[in-house]
Structure 1
Amino acid sequence: MSTDTTLTQPRTDGRPAKRRGYWSLWATVPREFAFLILTMPIAILALVVLASAFFTGLGLIAIVVGIFIVVASLYVARGFGSLELVRLEWAGRPGIARPVWERSDRNQGFWRTMWAPFIDGHYWLYLLHGMIINPIVSVISWSITVAWTSVALGGTTAWIWYRTIPDGRNDTDFWLHDVVIDFLFPGNTWNIDPLLGETIFEFVVGIIFLATLPFVFRGLTLLHDVIARGTLSAWRSEALEREVAQLSASRGAAVQAEDASLRRLERDIHDGPQQRLVRLQMDLATIERKLERDPEHARELLGEARDQARETLDELRALSRGFAPPILQDRGLAVGLQSLATRSPVPVTVEVDLPSDASVPASIERNAYFVVAELLTNAAKHAEARGIRLVASTRDAGAAGHWLDVWVTDNGRGGATAEPGHGLAGLADRVQGLRGMFVVDSPVGGPTTIGAHIPYTPVAASAPPPPSIE
């Protein structure tokens, strides 16, 4: 099986996301608690390691060896930062885009790799995060986590263990519940058992802290997440740079695919219609010479010339279908695919669910038509198939945009691969040139399933022409 691109585009059913309630927050409390309780030990370890390595390297930089130590500290900072991103994902936070560390322009020898951290700002941000930001923030979040958890658990269980504590108080000591009651109800003369009052008060406080525990853990985890997104994530400029590179590669693939198509058209015209036209010219010259001396033979040659002209015209029409088929321009992609299926020598089952409002751009329809025509031809010539299934549809993938999906499945012998220089590789280049995906699933023995998935921007339906005034 050969798969060019794995289909991973998201799907959506159009329904709004279900809001998460209070009790659903408790599902992530264990992971968030584990994240927060381990944050300070990891941050302190990072501070000790990074500060020791970095400042030792700075102190020895005059004897060159310090440069290597500083570089090592930057790589260690990268490791601690990557660990923080992994821990955030484990705690339930959405993934953060990582910087692209290994780039093609950096793989140029040892010294190029050696100096890469000095010129890459991400390494210094990771060092800043591991050596300064995270230790400070982790002390605060860890302290709040321990204090909030202790009050929540201690208060709610105080009624169990409170009476086991030796009472060393005297009459001059004060009780917290007395302070709160006097503040809420000034001038009261209530006589409450101190032990009972203190137990109830601590139980109420514990319940409050326990009820707010998910919000506190979520807030502290979000604090670390926001800091990580600001210092450890990839920059937007890098995403734009990658997109420009992908667009350039896609444009190059499209140009190569078109160039290959033009060369194939030139070869097909040279080997087919051109040879027939040469033969037709020779027949016409022979007819001209024998028209008066041997009219019967000339009449036979005229019939052959007529057949040659008809076959040449049919072949030219067949070649033109790969570029601008008239039925596609006049009646749309759905009818064009039905026409391809009708002309196939192998029976084709067609399942087409395409919009009738011409919302798919003409260029996308033309490329999809060409891909299907090539796939049907390959299935008929090489697959030894007894039947073919053609499925074409569009879908709205939400944030991923609109997609045109085309699947061709045959029950032939299988083993198809998109090797360079072969037809499927050219189709893959064509589809990838449109920023689409080309999928080949063809185990030996069949069946063969090939899919082309092409993104497109819907075209607004044109307004009908105004009525003519007679």
Structure 2
Amino acid sequence: MTDSTLEGGGASATTAIGENDGVVTTSASPGASAAQEGTGFWRSYGRRWARVPAESGVLFVAFPLAVIATSVLWPLFSTGIGLLVLVVGFFLVLASLYIARGYGTMTLAMLEGAGRPRIPRPVWRGRVGTGFIGRVLSPLADGHYWIYLLDAIVVQIAVTTLTWSIFITWVSTALGGTTFWIWGGFLPTTGRTVWLSSVIWEWVTRTPATFDPVTADTVLYAVVGLVFLFTLPYITRALITLHWSVARGLLGAWPSDRLRREVTELSASRAAAVAAEDRELRRLERDIHDGPQQQLIRLRMDIAAAQRRLADDPDATSRLLDEAGVRAQDALDELRALSRGFAPPILQDRGLAAAIDSLAARSTIPVTVTNDVSTDVALPQEVERNLYFVAAELLTNVAKHSRSDRARLTLALAGNALTLSVSDDGVGGAGENPRHGLSGIRERVTAMRGTTSITSGPTGTTVSVSVPIS
């Protein structure tokens, strides 16, 4: 057991370290604990005060904005309802829904500016049909628009009236009480018989007040002002939290929105997977037709010719069989090369990092590989396989089109996503053409619910893909 004692500032702490169990136990004297707690409280209190200006600004402007929104939206919406028999009423209702959406979005932005956590935005419904009518009718079929309208014309005016009244009362009491000693002397006191300090004293003690009421009122107002000023950060935070809670319940996304987004993403992923699979099958079909198939046709012709000359010209037959053997080996080599398009042996045996190093070594231009993924991280085989093909395609594009002298490949793991980036310093101009190159890469990555970023300019091209690994 090893003991060490730290002393300073009148406080002491003893740290005991167990040699066998490796557990560190620290005990501090009461004086040290009190000092640490005090320091922690004042630091936290200072951070609260740092947020007071932003919170006060939101609380101060929320009520006027709510009054303006209610004054505009109530007449607009009610007039639109009254004129629904006419075409103009329909558009007035739509206008009120769009204005309510804008006002609600501004409310969310102000709460974020006041330091509150970001509220997930709702998923706004797209068109409910085709053409102009489908686009126009979409707000009417989206419940979020109607909730935003209810919030703008009913809820916000009630909430902001309450919070604005409390906020103004608290601020005016804090500032007025702490500064009363400055301006209180200018107030007329001639003929005044009621003093707040005397009333409180006589009510509490049931005895007459014999002190100077002017001085007592000044002290009383200062104490009350200091109390209100000290608690102001807690009041602004509580009022902002009330606004944030109302906004989260009415203006935030619904659980069904997340489900709808996931369904949309899954549909896009499935479509991209189908497109990527079709593209790969067509590429494989073309490669087999242009390579091994032609070799096998020529091999069959050579064998047929050798059979015809077997009895008449043994030497020619031998040469034909030798050529047939060479063509058979060429066809076998091409088939092996094509089979790597399904699952490269090095990828299966040693993992993605080794497979990418092999790609870089076989590249016709120098490639600098940076791998920040630990070997202890187990990656899904499907992710490794697809990222290998993405890396192979990108390095091939660099070698063919970039006119670059070198390339850089980076593999990194950020959170729950694996990122692969390939960049060069070539001529740029990379773009997505349907069913070719980068378009096929995006389809492959989208099928894995990943994202693709392409940046291309005069100084080079950078393509980054990010794929979730779970």
The 1:452–1:80 alpha-carbon spacing in structure 2 relative to 1, beyond 3 Å, is: closer
The 1:360–1:126 alpha-carbon spacing in structure 2 relative to 1, beyond 3 Å, is: same
The equivalent of 1:413 in structure 2 is: 427
Distance, in Å, in 2 between the alignment partners of 1:62 and 1:352 is 67
The 1:71–1:105 alpha-carbon spacing in structure 2 relative to 1, beyond 3 Å, is: closer
Which residue of 56, 60, 71 corresponds with 1:33? 56
Which residue of 426, 437, 457 corresponds with 2:440? 426
The equivalent of 2:338 in structure 1 is: 319
Distance, in Å, in 2 between the alignment partners of 1:73 and 1:393 is 48
The 1:405–1:301 alpha-carbon spacing in structure 2 relative to 1, beyond 3 Å, is: same
* 1:263 matches 2:282: yes
Cα deviation, residue 25, structure 1: 2.0
Which residue of 432, 443, 454 corresponds with 2:467? 454
CA displacement 1:231-276 (0-9 Å, x = unmatched): 2223221221122111110111012101100110011001001101
> What secondary structure is seen at the aligned counterpart in 2 of 1:406?
strand
Cα deviation, residue 63, structure 1: 6.3
| Segment of structure 1 superposing worse, 210-219 or 225-234 | 225-234
CA displacement 1:55-106 (0-9 Å, x = unmatched): 3444455667555544443344334333323333333333333334461335
Q: Is the 8 A contact 1:177 1:201 kept in 2?
A: no
The 1:204–1:76 alpha-carbon spacing in structure 2 relative to 1, beyond 3 Å, is: same
The 1:354–1:221 alpha-carbon spacing in structure 2 relative to 1, beyond 3 Å, is: closer
Distance, in Å, in 2 between the alignment partners of 1:251 and 1:418 is 20
Cα deviation, residue 182, structure 1: 6.8
> What secondary structure is seen at the aligned counterpart in 2 of 1:109?
helix
Higher relative contact order (CA 8 A, sep 6+): 1
* 1:179 matches 2:179: no
Distance, in Å, in 2 between the alignment partners of 1:69 and 1:365 is 55
Cα deviation, residue 409, structure 1: 2.8
Cα deviation, residue 137, structure 1: 1.6
The 1:336–1:23 alpha-carbon spacing in structure 2 relative to 1, beyond 3 Å, is: same
The equivalent of 1:131 in structure 2 is: 153
Q: Is the 8 A contact 1:338 1:350 kept in 2?
A: yes
Distance, in Å, in 1 between the alignment partners of 2:245 and 2:445 is 38
> What secondary structure is seen at the aligned counterpart in 1 of 2:128?
helix
Matched-pair identity in %: 48
* 1:303 matches 2:345: no
The 1:22–1:270 alpha-carbon spacing in structure 2 relative to 1, beyond 3 Å, is: same
Amino acid at match of 1:47: T
Q: Is the 8 A contact 1:332 1:358 kept in 2?
A: no
Amino acid at match of 1:255: V
Q: Is the 8 A contact 2:108 2:247 kept in 1?
A: yes
Q: Is the 8 A contact 1:176 1:198 kept in 2?
A: yes
Distance, in Å, in 2 between the alignment partners of 1:118 and 1:202 is 55
CA displacement 1:409-465 (0-9 Å, x = unmatched): 334433222222321110111011111122223323x433222221112xxxxxxxx
Cα deviation, residue 174, structure 1: 3.6
**Taking structure 1 as the reference length, what is the TM-score of the superposition?**
0.83
Which residue of 246, 250, 259 corresponds with 2:269? 250
> What secondary structure is seen at the aligned counterpart in 2 of 1:418?
coil
Distance, in Å, in 2 between the alignment partners of 1:135 and 1:210 is 27
Amino acid at match of 1:230: G
The 1:77–1:403 alpha-carbon spacing in structure 2 relative to 1, beyond 3 Å, is: closer
The 1:250–1:177 alpha-carbon spacing in structure 2 relative to 1, beyond 3 Å, is: farther
The equivalent of 1:238 in structure 2 is: 257
Amino acid at match of 2:387: A
The 1:68–1:425 alpha-carbon spacing in structure 2 relative to 1, beyond 3 Å, is: closer
Structure 2 unmatched ranges of 5 or more:
1-39
Cα deviation, residue 147, structure 1: 0.6
Distance, in Å, in 2 between the alignment partners of 1:382 and 1:67 is 56
Distance, in Å, in 1 between the alignment partners of 2:127 and 2:79 is 32
Q: Is the 8 A contact 1:437 1:452 kept in 2?
A: yes
Cα deviation, residue 142, structure 1: 1.1
> What secondary structure is seen at the aligned counterpart in 2 of 1:451?
strand
Q: Which runs of 4+ in 1 moved over 6 A?
A: 187-190
The 1:364–1:386 alpha-carbon spacing in structure 2 relative to 1, beyond 3 Å, is: same
The equivalent of 2:44 in structure 1 is: 21
Amino acid at match of 1:175: L
Structure 1 unmatched ranges of 5 or more:
1-17, 458-470
**Which structure 2 residues correspond to residues 101-116 of structure 1 after superposition, within 5 A?**
101=124, 103-106=126-129, 108-110=131-133, 112-116=134-138
Distance, in Å, in 2 between the alignment partners of 1:336 and 1:391 is 13
CA displacement 1:373-410 (0-9 Å, x = unmatched): 22222222333333333322323x2xxxx222222233
Distance, in Å, in 2 between the alignment partners of 1:57 and 1:414 is 54
The equivalent of 1:84 in structure 2 is: 107
Distance, in Å, in 1 between the alignment partners of 2:355 and 2:407 is 17
RMSD: 2.7
The 1:314–1:386 alpha-carbon spacing in structure 2 relative to 1, beyond 3 Å, is: farther
Q: Is the 8 A contact 2:279 2:440 kept in 1?
A: yes
**Which structure 2 residues correspond to residues 144-293 of structure 1 after superposition, within 5 A?**
144-170=166-192, 172-176=193-197, 179=200, 183=204, 186=205, 191-293=210-312
Distance, in Å, in 1 between the alignment partners of 2:168 and 2:233 is 14
